[in-house]
Structure 1
């Protein structure tokens, strides 16, 4: 049965304390609080740096069994290396502890910069490197750099399929050619709602869909009106009815709207 995963991009924001998070709630308990009210969280700290295995295990244990974590792939791969010569960097990422999430590991999202246009050879080559199972990710992780030795995590509790989503920010990706390439590699294209800043590519290329909501009218800052929430609820229902899982993450965190909008969307879907 298809399922909706509604959540937020990140959860540790000082401005949410005393608003979404009750006053006096320990920062260490914020993830558990969010996980009680949402279906999923997108881990974005992994975009900025490799996290430690102990962190991944702590996050895993803070959420209920049916909770799912999406994971943002590292900017070292997407923005610094710009998808070139990244096999070792991917190995380091998968060795860093991602696999410790076990059955709570959801899609891994790869966001490319706005000044990186679609180059079929480059992008297709990158997508071909991505492991499709947790066993494949473990095998790739074993090729990590030696500096990872002693702080890696190379265990899996079962061999499960891995899901990948790709969020391009250059308009040249909005093409049949890229959509065909993504579909051939079982990669979902992220629908980015960004107040018109980046292309919103709404093309189904895999058996699940993934949306990142960066702000309805103002990037990262504006909230979503009831009408806008209704629109996204209908978008989710359409895909659920077609048998697809739907992942939706609110990234409009600057003024604290994200968790409230996520709760509102989740309530619409449960009504």
Structure 2
């Protein structure tokens, strides 16, 4: 079965998007709805910093059209720690805060690790066993964003595949571009948008990521997010990719 490509940005509240992406005069409370009308996914960043209420997730889900997906950034208390094997309580708190209220609007969970975090096979393996397959009957998909070159290791890739977790491919000047094994979906974070490019990426680079997404659909769903970089250009980049994908 061919997967579906979803393209989005990080969050939806960002002042420079008002008047460039969001129409002048659009109420802030309507910005998420506008994202749902023009993009097909977004990353929720607020969950990285603190827990949200179940009703908040339910309202977010209700605001979006069929087919839209929220990727949810996992709590920093689970990933920014010396011993990952001790993250069980933080993972349980994060998963249990109400993300199940997103229902069929729930995309992958993004587990992001600091650039200084090195690959420790025993500790990371123990962490992966703590990731639940579902919460309140809602299946969970996990994506690992590792930022240290020590993770560019066959042992890590095999470990992630065994756990059914995708390895995030980052387009970034200093993070390694690690390509993981097929686990039924792909996750890209495209972080090189440039202010002097109206669509964030130049035509040739944009086409490269469009073709990458098309290829990955043979393995399942694809999530491509324009994050960081020249952040003011990210909505335009996402829209340009959606247009190119037809």
Q: Smaller-chain TM-score range?
A: over 0.9
C-alpha spacing 1:106/1:80, structure 2 compared with 1 (3 Å) = same
Tell me, yes or no, if the aligned pair for 1:180 and 1:205 is still in contact at 8 Å: no
- The aligned residue for residue 92 of structure 1 is 93
Structure 2 gaps of 5+ residues are none
State the number of aligned residues. 242
Task: State the Cα distance separating 1:82 from its structure 2 match.
Answer: 5.2
Instruction: Give 1:135-214 correspondences, 5 Å limit.
Output: 137-138=135-136, 159-194=137-172, 196-214=173-191
- The aligned residue for residue 128 of structure 1 is 129
**1:267 correspondence with 2:243:** yes
- The aligned residue for residue 29 of structure 1 is 30
Tell me, yes or no, if the aligned pair for 1:179 and 1:205 is still in contact at 8 Å: no
Task: State the Cα distance separating 1:204 from its structure 2 match.
Answer: 2.5
Mapped partners of 1:82, 1:215: distance in 2 = 31
C-alpha spacing 1:124/1:217, structure 2 compared with 1 (3 Å) = farther
Mapped partners of 2:194, 2:121: distance in 1 = 32
User: Secondary structure of 2:190's match?
Assistant: strand
Task: State the Cα distance separating 1:81 from its structure 2 match.
Answer: 5.7
Give the alignment's TM-score, normalised by structure 2: 0.93
Mapped partners of 2:171, 2:219: distance in 1 = 23
Task: State the Cα distance separating 1:161 from its structure 2 match.
Answer: 2.7
Give the alignment's TM-score, normalised by structure 1: 0.85
Structure 1 gaps of 5+ residues are 139-158
Compute the RMSD of aligned alpha carbons: 1.7
Task: State the Cα distance separating 1:227 from its structure 2 match.
Answer: 1.3
